[in-house]
Structure 1
Amino acid sequence: MTDAAPAPFRNEKALKRLKKRRAADTRFRFYGMSAIAFALAALSLLIVSILSQAISAATYHVVRYDVVLDPAVIAPAGKDKPADVARNIDGFYNLLRSNLLQTFPDVQGNRLETRELGDLLTRLAVLPVAKSVAANPTQIGQEMTIKVPLNDDLDLYLKGAVSPEARLKLGTVEQGTETAPGRVTLSGPNAFKGLQSLISAQRAEVGDAVDARSILVTSGPATGRVVSMSANSLEMDLLTGSAADYQGARPLARVIALPEAQRNVSDDQIAWTLALKDMGRISRVPHFSLLTHTDSTYPELAGALAAIVGSLLTMLVTAFIAIPVGIFASVYLEEFAPRNRLTEIIEVNINNLAAVPSIVFGLLGAAVFLGFFGLPRSAPLVGGLVLALLTLPTIIIASRAALKSVPPSIRAAALGVGASKMQSVFHHVLPVAGPGIFTGAILGMARALGETAPLLLIGMVAFVADVPGGPTDESTALPVLVYSWATHAERAWEPMTAAVIVILLMFLITMNGIVVFLRRRFERRW
């Protein structure tokens, strides 16, 4: 009996080719997994970067003022009508500033310190209070607790975002004496040895530049600026409080990295803020005003409400125009249009329009809608028209792809039972293609929501202090607000910009969630 003949493909060359093919398959899977991992890592890095900045804007510090609403200040004779009270911002501001001067009486008589103390409070921060009192005039003459935002620079300082600082708990102070007006000496055995070692280490690291740094020592409401020190004694200028506040306490030393001349907040302002915080008058609260206030020139007072409403109005105009026009255009081109040279040209141009930069649509909108038709500038109506033109190609292409995916048997069956062409399309084909059409429409709307360049060219970058009441009112949009706030020089705008980006991403996630829901709800598998 002879041995079985070897398989014709089981030879050295065939096995070598099989091994190479399997190795290529393994490499392809590795490349695919690497690409997915890289994309997820980049997305995670982006999200973490945005959220790390936005977290700071999620809360802010407010200051409590217990004041008597003096009629002579906020409602003087001849200006006591509700409308006059609502406009009397200076009167309310002076009340709160006077409260600060009463809290820190040593400041009176020094014009520079008086101005710096008044800077703890932004003048326009009292506008909501003025409107509230004007709406309820019975409060005039009574004592009222008012809470207004802290100055944005000091708010950032309390959040640790102004300047790096080293904090060190000192030893027990046995004696604190006032050696001269405004000059205090603290003493205690080895109470300041740790601070002396810290300054020596910093001086060895950065040289004599450390001498320009501010060293503040705080105990309760008292804060002093160090002038000289040794292991057992410390001399400083008293900024707030008294020498008695240090007696028997273990004060906290703050070594602020940036010199006072290079900061937007002075040592005095830091001392006043720490004193107010020790009194319980400063609290950190959720920043709901970011969603309830409109834009402002001050970061602590600014909000995104006008931009949110403007984006919603713009999207409504865009959806009202782009979705029905895009769907009916795709239905006609795919189901009813004759196959000739004209339809081929139309299809090619639709595909080309989908790749046109968005700024071109902005130029078109500025020339046609603003220049030729004379529509109102900075209005959601114009923004919606421009974004509708931008979105139409995307909706048409996605809708045609959804219609092509419907099996031909659906059309044949409908025509076979006597349905007309129109009935077969609208009663049978469109319901089956509906999930894909809705997906394309909402994805097109999501793209329009994030566009900035077209809206800039039609003037929606304007400063808007009021919530738009309709599509023809002056407005702005979330992407434009992000651009506008990102160009401001103040440090406080950075977390505010990141917070608005988070709001914009929430809108996009919501729209994409609707896409997933519609697809899973209505999709049919064949």
Structure 2
Amino acid sequence: MTKVIQNTKKSPTTELVARSLKQRHKKEKRFKRLGLLAVLFGFMLVVILISDITIKALPAFNQHWVKLDITYKKEWLGLESPTNEAAFAEQLKTANYRKVLKNSVYQMFSTGEKLSRSEKRQLTKLFSTNAEFTIKDMLIAAPEQFDKKVNVWIRSDDDVDSYLKEGFSQGEAGLRVSKQQAIWLEKLVTENRVDNRINLSFFTASDSREPELAGIKGALAGTLLTMLGNFITFISFGCCFGALYLEEFAPNNRWTDLIEININNLAAVPSIVFGLLGLAVIINLFELPRSAPLVGGIVLTLMTLPTIIIASRAAIKAVPPSLREAALGLGASKMQVTFSHVLPQAMPGIITGAIIGVAQALGETAPLLMIGMVAFIVDVPTSIVDSATVLPVQIFLWADSPERAFLAKTSAAILVLLALLLVINITATVLRSKFENK
């Protein structure tokens, strides 16, 4: 019986394939490591960015208040002898509360010696510019305090607020706080006249020249009104009239090709060009109100329309042709097939495109600057034709301000803008999941 001896020696071809396979596996592992490293590096940068913004924004969510002894003297108020309660209430509205504030403060900090003019100026700068309105509201709300000494909590000035938050040693001068002011602040702290409170006015007040009074209510309302008009118009025009027509109804000819080329080119046009278009056409030609959310919504719609149309067309094109053919075979019209079968199937992709459009519009500043939404507006807008500004523009204005307290306000407004974008994304994701399940 002949034994067959197998040759265990590998052929050159087998060795070459083994070496090649080993090298390919190494390259694959190396690529995976690089990909994971890139993801971790990007995540780390995002964490660093958000952490830095959050740390800088924290001082904006609290504010120092000072308790003062205010005496509502008749001589300081400049009141005449009232004839009745109605006349007295009317006089309280126009009384000299600035003199009441100054004289009350001078009495608190004078140590037997008369304060110099320079010391008086430094003393009044410790408190916010709206302090006189605070004591005015206090007396109007409780007229029985007339000609009495009462304790009133007053907002501190932004420089004083920053000084106290930075934790300077007691009596030590700081940036924009003199040595004498630091001594007065030390006295207030030791007498428990300083309180650090949550700054709710950041959400309930509008913009102001004074950092301690500035808030985002007006800008937030303008943002919501602008986004409402933008969302309705670009969903209707971009999805229903634009993408559906081009993908389902438009004939395949050179004019359709020309429209598609222009849409793709418009997606790459700088956003400030759309601002110039809004200024030249929407405001000057159609004479719509300047700085209005209506105009801002239209401009942002023109800017985001190409992105929405491209994303919506891709979602509509992804619907299987067999679905259309089955519906047409059962006798459905082209309109019924489009709106009853194609559009529901494409809705998750369309919502994804809408998220991209909203995110792009929510963070835009340049086109809104061109249509006047950079104006200083104190009143909160109540309709789409009122003068308004938006959060990105508000952030731009605060970032350009020299006061240090506006740095924290800027970072806090950025956090609110990110939170608003997060809420919109979560809502859109929930809707997309609902349509996918359906």
User: Taking structure 1 as the reference length, what is the TM-score of the superposition?
Assistant: 0.76
* Aligned 1:370-409 pairs, distance under 5 A: 370-409=283-322
- Of the three residues 494, 499, 505, the one matched with 2:418 is 505
- Counterpart mapping for 1:293-332 below 5 A: 293-328=205-240, 329-332=242-245
Q: Which residue among 39, 57, 71 is the counterpart of 1:54? A: 57
Corresponding position: 1:39 with 2:45: no
In the other structure, the counterpart of 1:13 is: 16
Partner in structure 2 of residue 213 of structure 1: none
Q: Is the 8 A contact 2:71 2:104 kept in 1?
A: no
SS in structure 1 at match of 2:56: helix
Relative distance call for 1:144 and 1:322 in structure 2 (3 A) is: farther
Change (3 A) 1:423 1:50: same
Give a deviation string over 1:459-482, Cα, whole Å, max 9, x none.
Answer: 111111111121111111100000
Q: Find the partner of 2:122 among 106, 116, 123.
A: 116
Mean alpha-carbon deviation: is it higher for 15-24 or for 304-313? Answer: 15-24
Q: Which structure's residues are more often strand, by fraction?
A: 1
CA distance in 2, matches of 1:341, 1:487: 49
Structure 2 counterpart of 1:514: 427
* Unpaired stretches in structure 1, ≥5 consecutive residues: 168-217, 224-253
1:514 aligned counterpart, secondary structure: helix
- Could you give the per-residue CA deviations for residues 327-380 of structure 1, whole angstroms, max 9, x where no partner exists? 111111111111111111111111111111111111111111122122211111
**Structure 2 CA distance for aligned equivalents of residues 9 and 351 of structure 1:** 54
Q: Counting helix residues as a fraction of each chain, which structure ranks higher?
A: 2
Residue 351, structure 1, aligned to residue 357, structure 2: no
* Coordinate RMSD, CA, aligned: 2.6
Asked if structure 1 preserves the Cα contact closer than 8 Å seen for 2:222 and 2:293, the reply is yes
Q: Is the 8 A contact 1:151 1:300 kept in 2?
A: yes
1:82 touches 1:135 (CA, 8 Å); kept in 2?
no
Q: Does 1:286 align with 2:203?
A: no
Structure-2 separation of matches of 1:325 and 1:157:
53
Cα distance in structure 2, aligned partners of 1:22 and 1:147: 71
C-alpha displacement of 1:430: 1.0
AA of the residue aligned to 1:157? Y
Q: Secondary structure at the match of 1:39?
A: helix
Give the aligned residue type for 1:27: R
SS of 1:419's equivalent? Answer: coil
The structure-2 alpha-carbon separation of the partners of 1:457 and 1:335, relative to structure 1 and needing over 3 Å to count, comes to same
Deviations 1:176-223 (A, max 9, x none): xxxxxxxxxxxxxxxxxxxxxxxxxxxxxxxxxxxxxxxxxx6xxxx6
Quote the Cα distance in structure 2 between the aligned partners of 1:25 and 1:462: 56
Check the 8 A contact 1:108/1:114 in 2, yes or no.
Answer: no
In structure 1, what residue type is equivalent to 2:269? V
Cα 1:459–1:424 shift into 2, 3 Å:
same
Cα gap change, 1:357/1:278 in structure 2, threshold over 3 Å: closer, same or farther?
same
Distance 1:352 1:13 in 2: 50
Give the secondary structure class of the aligned counterpart of 1:462.
coil
CA shift, 1:47, in A, is 0.5
Indicate conservation of the 8 Å contact 1:362/1:455, yes or no. Answer: yes
Aligned equivalent of 2:340, options 413, 427, 434: 427
CA contact (8 A) 1:86 1:127 kept: no
Amino acid at match of 2:422: I
The letter of the residue matching 1:105 is S
Secondary structure of the 1:403 match is helix
Alignment check: 8 A CA contact 2:62 2:199 kept: yes
Q: What is the percentage of aligned positions where both structures have the same residue? A: 43
Give the 3 Å change call, closer, same or farther, for CA 306–129 of structure 1 in structure 2. Answer: farther
Q: Distance in 2 between matches of 1:129 and 1:331?
A: 62
Equivalenced residue count is 429
Once the two structures are superposed, the pairs formed by residues 135-146 of structure 1 within 5 Å of their partners are 144-146=150-152
The answer to which of 91-100 and 492-501 deviates more is: 91-100
Q: Does residue 364 of structure 2 align to residue 447 of structure 1?
A: no
What amino acid is aligned across from residue 103 of structure 2 in structure 1?
Answer: S
Which deviates the most, 373-382 or 7-16?
7-16
Matches within 5 A, 1:167-186: none
Residue by residue over 1:263-307, the C-alpha shift from the partner in whole angstroms, topping out at 9 and shown as x without a partner, is: 311111111112112211110011111111111111011111111
Relative contact order higher in (CA < 8 Å, ≥ 6 apart):
2
AA of the residue aligned to 2:237: V
Whole-Å separation in 2 of the counterparts to 1:325 and 1:75: 63
1:99 CA drift (Å): 2.5
Q: How far did residue 324 of structure 1 move?
A: 0.6
SS at match of 1:60: strand
Q: 1:296 to 1:520 in 2, by over 3 A?
A: same
Q: Distance in 1 between matches of 2:282 and 2:290?
A: 9
Aligned partner letter, 2:45: A
The Cα shift of 1:61 comes to 0.3
Contact 1:443–1:512 at 8 Å: present in 2 too? Answer: no
Match of 1:482 in 2: 395
**Residue type at the aligned position of 2:197:** V
1:372 partner SS: coil
- What amino acid sits opposite 2:220 in the alignment? I
Is the Cα contact below 8 Å between 2:395 and 2:414 reproduced in 1? yes
Contact 2:274 2:299 survives alignment (8 Å): yes
1:40 partner amino acid: F
Residue aligned with 1:24, SS: helix
The farther-off stretch of 317-326 and 282-291 is 317-326
Superposed, 1:59-208 pairs within 5 Å as 59-70=62-73, 73-74=76-77, 76-77=79-80, 85-86=92-93, 91-106=96-111, 108-127=114-133, 130-131=136-137, 134=140, 144-160=150-166
Output one character per residue of 1:429-461: Cα deviation in whole Å (capped at 9) or x when no partner: 111111221221132112111100011111111
- Deviation of the 1:81 alpha carbon: 7.6
- Asked if residue 495 in structure 1 is aligned to residue 405 in structure 2, the reply is no
Alignment-derived partner of residue 386 in structure 2: 473
CA distance in 2, matches of 1:59, 1:30: 44
Tell me which amino acid in the other structure corresponds to 2:17: A
What amino acid is aligned across from residue 151 of structure 1 in structure 2?
A: D
